[in-house]
Amino acid sequence: MRALRRPWLAYLVLGLAAVGVYFLVPWDTIGQAVLYDAIGASSAVAVVVGVRLNRPAQRLPWLMFAGGLLAFSVGDSIFNLYGYVWNRTPPIPSAADVFYLAGYPAIAAGLALLIFRFGAVERRAGLIDAALFTVAFALAQWVFLMKDLVHAEGSVASKAVAAAYPGMDVVLLSGLAVFWLCPAWRSIACVRGLRDVARHVRERWVAGHRLAPFLRPLGSGGAAPVDDGALARHAVDASAADVVAARAARSGVADGAGGPADPAPDRGRRRVGRDRGLRVGAVAPRALPHRRP
């Protein structure tokens, strides 16, 4: 039941089951080939379904990923048709090579679109680190694979296609390296949220120290004096909930609604202002020492 409520978990369970069935089917048969192609096609369908369910702010990169996965699946299907239906070796190049090689740029383009959403500083840091890794991988590909393929016997088309595969591996791996090595690789929303947290923490810390001289007299009368640092720390504690409430109201997903963004931005801003006002009013009492009855 839990898997049915979470589509990604249901797909994970079914996918693992399908992989297990794949190894139970008689080896090198048309049934195993059909199951292999079905698993590959299901990955593209799963990405499209995930886009429709989650509605990300930027859908094109995910659709590019789905297109690349679908191209790989079509290439596998054509390759298996040559072996199990037409009973002949596929030529080089063949229609399968067209789809195989088309899948690489589609996935690389999706990664590039995600990388462009990063800030200039994050992109620069990721590019520098990824360039070192990509150059080393490209040299290894050339020395151990591409050089022999380029200088081998055969037509120019066959050698170009054979060398294109390791070349596309370099392109795809470079995009993955840039995306992974960028400091903001987790998500754009996460990065923006962390920036908001840092800004609000800084503002609350300064406000706490500025309010301390005015609130210190309120803590007299037998109670321990109010510490400026304690007041600032209480202000920082309140800032995290403030950021969460503000960003939830801004995106229209407060209280776990999970729906699309609020179509009335003015009402959202008023709600954010109300929440922040409540937070400002709650900072001072929590910073004061408790009196014993």
- Indicate if 6 and 65 belong to the same structural domain: yes
- 74 and 122 belong to one structural domain: no
Torsions phi, psi of 204, nearest 5?
-65, -40
Which tokens hold the place of 77?
């299907």
Domain match, 17 and 89 both:
yes
Same domain, 105 and 56: yes
The number of folded domains in the chain is: 3
The per-residue pLDDT for 147 is: 85
Same domain, 54 and 112: yes
Enumerate residues 6+ apart whose C-beta is below 8 A from 145: 166
Q: Are residues 95 and 18 in the same domain?
A: yes
Pick the residue with more confidence: 159 or 211?
159
For residue 292, is it within any domain? no
Same domain, 34 and 113: yes
Mean pLDDT of 106-110: 93
State which of 185, 202, 234 marks the end of a domain: 185
**Residue ending a domain, choose from 170, 185, 200:** 185
Q: Which region among 37-51, 56-70, 71-85, 279-293 has the lowest average model confidence (pLDDT)?
A: 279-293
- End residue of a domain, out of 100, 117, 134: 117
Distance (Å, whole) CA 76 – CA 95: 10
**172-199: b (≥16 Cβ within 10 Å) or e:** bbbbbbbbebbebbeebeebeeeebbee
pLDDT in tens, 138-182: 898 888 888 888 888 888 888 899 899 999 999 888 888 887 877
Query: Same domain for 132 and 153?
Result: yes
| Same domain membership, residue 103 and residue 125 | no
Mean pLDDT of 202-218: 49
Question: What is the C-alpha to C-alpha distance for residues 271 and 267, in angstroms, rounded to an integer?
Answer: 6
What per-residue confidence (pLDDT) applies to 195? 53
201 located within any domain? yes
Q: Is 105 helix (H, G, I), strand (E, B) or coil?
A: helix
Q: Is the pLDDT of residue 13 over 60?
A: yes
Structural domain of 266: 188-287
pLDDT tens by residue, 180-192: 877 655 544 444 5
Long-range contacts of residues 227-233, Cβ cutoff 8 Å, at least 24 apart? 230/287, 231/283, 231/287, 232/204, 232/205, 232/208, 233/208
- Do both 3 and 88 map to the same domain? yes
